[in-house]
Amino acid sequence: GEDVEQSLFLSVREGDSSVINCTYTDSSSTYLYWYKQEPGAGLQLLTYIFSNMDMKQDQRLTVLLNKKDKHLSLRIADTQTGDSAIYFCAENLKSFKTIFGAGTRLFVKA
Amino acid sequence: NAGVTQTPKFRVLKTGQSMTLLCAQDMNHEYMYWYRQDPGMGLRLIHYSVGEGTTAKGEVPDGYNVSRLKKQNFLLGLESAAPSQTSVYFCASSFPGNNSPLHFGNGTRLTVT
């Protein structure tokens, strides 16, 4: 079946790197996404990676994709208190079908 | 450019009451979606639409109906609310195609007592 799993909580100190991990089951996904949800708001696209890529870097964000293990990770360098939010991993299977993980709540301690 | 706008932001219903959640987007997106978000369960797709006048069932459609009479609007109806429908509801929209990320509204928090 189609499933996306991620750990529910992560706590880091300000200035450290955060690594949020995700595993997915459907190997037919074409794009994998990371969305960020701040309190009281909807999800906003943070970054994405095409399934034939291994890595994508965008300023403080690094996405790593291990297609063999169906493992996706999001690294946030120099984590700031403003990065505290819920991060959702999602895989796009068809143009109208996106499967979301349960979300990882990132706590950043000052 | 407002993006995706949902109304209302909050609502409390009694069991058996009905209501309609409104979603409007100004990005000329073809596709629109209704999701519900529950703790520890991520987002689950209720219904979606791939164009004006079309709707389709998602993962958890029971107890909900939708209509897409105009391209920019997607309405979610609850005919007879149940406590199990207490949730946060998100509307989203996108262009067609595999690399078309979803654009979300800010959500409607619904409590059914």
d(CA A34, CA B61) in angstroms, rounded, equals 25
Give A-chain residues touching B33 at CB under 8 angstroms. 96
Query: What is the arithmetic mean of pLDDT over B43-47?
Result: 95
Is 70 exceeded by the pLDDT of residue B103?
Answer: yes
- Please give the pLDDT value at position A1: 61
The residue of chain A with its CA nearest to that of B49 is: A96
Q: Which of A44, A95, A102 sits opposite B98 (nearest CB)?
A: A95
CB spacing of B99 vs A50 below 8 angstroms: yes
CA neighbor of B107 nearest in space, from B8, B3, B1 = B8
Q: Per residue, what are the HEC states of chain B?
A: CCCEEEECCEEEECCCCCEEEEEEECCCCCEEEEEEECCCCCEEEEEEECCCCCCEECCCCCCCEEECCCCCECEEEECCCCHHHCEEEEEEEECCCCCCCCEECCCEEEEEC
Residue B18 and residue A36: Cα distance in Å, rounded? 32
Token pair, residue B52, equals 């004006």
pLDDT range class, residue B1, cuts 50, 70, 90? low
Contact B74, B91 (CB under 8 A): yes
User: Is residue B49 within 8 Å of B94, Cβ to Cβ?
Assistant: no
Look up residue A105 and give its amino acid: R
Per-residue tens of pLDDT for chain A, all 110 residues:
678 999 899 999 999 999 999 999 887 878 899 999 998 899 999 999 998 899 999 999 999 999 999 999 999 999 999 999 999 999 988 767 889 999 999 999 99
pLDDT the model gives residue A102: 92
SS3 A110: coil
Whether B88 and chain A come into contact, CB under 8 Å, resolves to no
Average pLDDT value over all residues in chain B: 95
Pairwise CB contact (< 8 Å): B50 & A96: yes
